[in-house]
Amino acid sequence: MKQSNSNLKFPKHFLWGAATSAHQVEGDTHNQWTVWELENSLSLATRSSYHFEDLENWPDIKAAAKDPNNYVSAQGVDHYTRYEQDFDLLQRMHMNAFRFSIEWSRVEPKNGAWDVAAIEHYKQYVKELRRRGIEPVVTLFHFTLPVWFDELGGFERRANVKYFTRFAEKIVRELGIDVRYIVTINEPEVYVGASYVTGEWPPSKMSKWTAWRVLSNLAYAHNQTAKAIHGINRRYKVSIAKNSSYVYAGDNAWLSRLSANILQYLKDDYFLKKVIKQCDWLGMNYYFSDRVYGYRVHNPDVHLSDLGWDMSPENIQHALERLHEKYHLPIIITENGLADATDEQRQWWITQTLVAMQKAMKNGVKLEGYLHWSLLDNFEWDKGFWPRFGLVKVDFKTKARTLRPSALWFGKIIKYIRETQ
Ligand code: BGC
């Protein structure tokens, strides 16, 4: 590895880290997702064979996928109480950045009523990161909402955006100078698609009209919140974490090329154009590409992750270059990774990604950080606990953590890069 290491060149202050979200790791949350999980765990378990039995690893995941408890976040991986132990793991991998989300439902369990202990928790949390020389990247909305906000109509109503902005301002004032990087909204189209188009996530509505309204309101929410945060202090660096795939035509037919362009526009630019003026940088979450034939996406099914997603880590280069050329902002990769329970693919995936990042940087992309999804095995939304995204393996019964071989390797790479730049 030494040989190829020496070709890796990254800026001195590059952010090397991992990412999580509160509901997926903390445990004991009470929000609109918790309510939905309890109502839907049985049907998710019953329908699991329909969704997953074609996967090669079905025999390995079958027991978990058919168990209703798999779909209830419950104790999560108990990160809420074990966060110091988890920060030790970041340090063991020589990381200097960590992305996490603040659970709004903890901080404001009732409309307008702040929970002082929860706020204190996050203040300590951030201080603990700072003490270890780790840059916090704070997300404010990562798919979960307080029940009271959901009951008011959530982001379906533009008039509700003021509550989100109020929460954001409160958090930013409380965390103060310990925080610089803020992500207002995680993956707007993924949330809207699953919650309002396919109905797979709460509130399980299937209405394209409502979906469009929620997407517009999320853009409005970002803009209002970014303005409010900058009003507190211009030093804050605000962005969204944009789900960004690389869409390409699988053949040279005009229809394939046209469809790829339209799809890429709808996936990326439609939303980005609405918020870009209120972004200081661009957060990019990359997991896969979309290959288009005619007007359909048909990905190669030769190299698949545990979730059956096409693995083309190298295409992150094109996704980065495209965003750079269109928006000219510094970019941080706010999520990137794969479900890989046996850890056979992760090292290869990260290597391909680092090489692609280097190529993109040579071609002018101002890349400032890489945050791997995820630090820990966690609760993968409507799929539950079986997809293993963690650099750190978690025993869900004992909550014991073990760095996977790929994590030990990645830690050495980061150390080498940071020491030699
Ligand atoms: C989300 C994460 C999720 C990951 C893997 C992203 O869509 O932000 O919460 O766990 O992808 O599916």
Cα–Cα distances (Å) from 244 to 258, 320, 333, in that order, read: 19, 9, 10
Beta bridge mates, 182: 138, 238
Of 144, 334, 381, 386, the residue with max ligand 1 atoms within 8 A of its CB, to mutate for a pocket test, comes to 381
Q: Pick the closest to residue 296 from 265, 250, 245, 252 (CA basis).
A: 250
Establish how many alpha carbons lie within 13 A of residue 159's alpha carbon, considering only the half-sphere containing its beta carbon: 2
Which residue has its alpha carbon closest to ligand 1 atom 1? 187
Single-letter code of the amino acid located at 198: T
Residue ranges per structural domain of the chain:
15-419
Q: Which pLDDT band, with edges at 50, 70 and 90, does 5 fall under?
A: low
Instruction: Tell how far CA 13 is from the center of its chain.
Output: 22
- State the average pLDDT over residues 338-358: 98
Question: pLDDT (tens digit, 9 = 90+) per residue, 341-350?
Answer: 999 999 999 9
- State the average pLDDT over residues 349-356: 98
Q: With contact defined as beta carbons under 8 Å apart, do 306 and 55 qualify?
A: yes
Q: With contact defined as beta carbons under 8 Å apart, do 240 and 183 qualify?
A: yes
**Ligand 1, pocket residues at CB < 6 Å:** 21, 24, 186-187, 190, 285, 335, 373, 380
- State the average pLDDT over residues 400-406: 98
Q: Which pLDDT band, with edges at 50, 70 and 90, does 152 fall under?
A: very high
Q: Give the other-Cβ count within 10 Å of 402's Cβ.
A: 12
Pairing of strands 401-403, 392-394: antiparallel
**Beta strand residue intervals within 225-313, DSSP E:** 237-243, 246-249, 282-286, 289-293, 296-297
- What pLDDT score does 7 carry? 74
Ligand 1 centroid to residue 309 C-alpha, Å: 13
- Whether the upstream peptide bond of residue 374 has omega within 30° of 0, thus cis, is yes
- State the average pLDDT over residues 95-120: 98
Q: Does residue 1 carry a pLDDT above 80?
A: no
Ligand 1 centroid to residue 276 C-alpha, Å: 22
- What pLDDT score does 9 carry? 87
Cα–Cα distances (Å) from 157 to 35, 135, 139, 298, 383, in that order, read: 21, 34, 21, 36, 28
- What pLDDT score does 301 carry? 85
CA distance 409 to 91: 14
Angle, CA of 376, 168 and 159, to the nearest 5°: 120
Which residue has its alpha carbon closest to ligand 1 atom 5? 380
- State the average pLDDT over residues 391-395: 98
CA of 389, closest atom in ligand 1:
5
Pairing of strands 331-336, 296-297: unpaired
Establish how many alpha carbons lie within 13 A of residue 251's alpha carbon, considering only the half-sphere containing its beta carbon: 8
Ligand 1 centroid to residue 383 C-alpha, Å: 11
Ligand 1 centroid to residue 386 C-alpha, Å: 14
- What pLDDT score does 421 carry? 80
Task: Please give the structure tokens belonging to residue 362.
Answer: 């040579």
- State the average pLDDT over residues 135-157: 99
Ligand 1 centroid to residue 3 C-alpha, Å: 33
Ligand 1 centroid to residue 287 C-alpha, Å: 9
Question: pLDDT (tens digit, 9 = 90+) per residue, 158-205?
Answer: 999 999 999 999 999 999 999 999 999 999 999 999 999 999 999 999
- What pLDDT score does 2 carry? 44
CA distance 399 to 380: 16
- State the average pLDDT over residues 309-315: 96
CA of 307, closest atom in ligand 1:
12
Ligand 1 centroid to residue 254 C-alpha, Å: 33
- State the average pLDDT over residues 342-364: 98
Of 103, 190, 335, the residue with max ligand 1 atoms within 8 A of its CB, to mutate for a pocket test, comes to 335
- State the average pLDDT over residues 364-376: 98
Ligand 1 centroid to residue 419 C-alpha, Å: 31
CA of 383, closest atom in ligand 1:
12
Q: Which pLDDT band, with edges at 50, 70 and 90, does 60 fall under?
A: very high
Single-letter code of the amino acid located at 17: G
Q: Pick the closest to residue 353 from 288, 411, 403, 402 (CA basis).
A: 288
186 phi and psi, to 5 degrees? Answer: -95, 130
Largest CA distance in the chain: 60
- State the average pLDDT over residues 284-304: 94
- What pLDDT score does 313 carry? 98
Pairing of strands 237-243, 181-186: parallel
CA of 187, closest atom in ligand 1:
8
CATH of the structural domain 15-419, one choice from 3.40.50.280, 3.30.70.2610, 3.20.20.80, 3.40.250.10: 3.20.20.80
Q: What's 176's DSSP letter?
A: G
CA of 337, closest atom in ligand 1:
5
Single-letter code of the amino acid located at 242: K
Instruction: Tell how far CA 30 is from the center of its chain.
Output: 20
Could you give the angle at which helices 346-362 and 405-420 cross, rounded to 10 degrees? Answer: 30
CA of 373, closest atom in ligand 1:
4
Ligand 1 centroid to residue 55 C-alpha, Å: 19
Ligand 1 centroid to residue 100 C-alpha, Å: 12
CA of 186, closest atom in ligand 1:
8
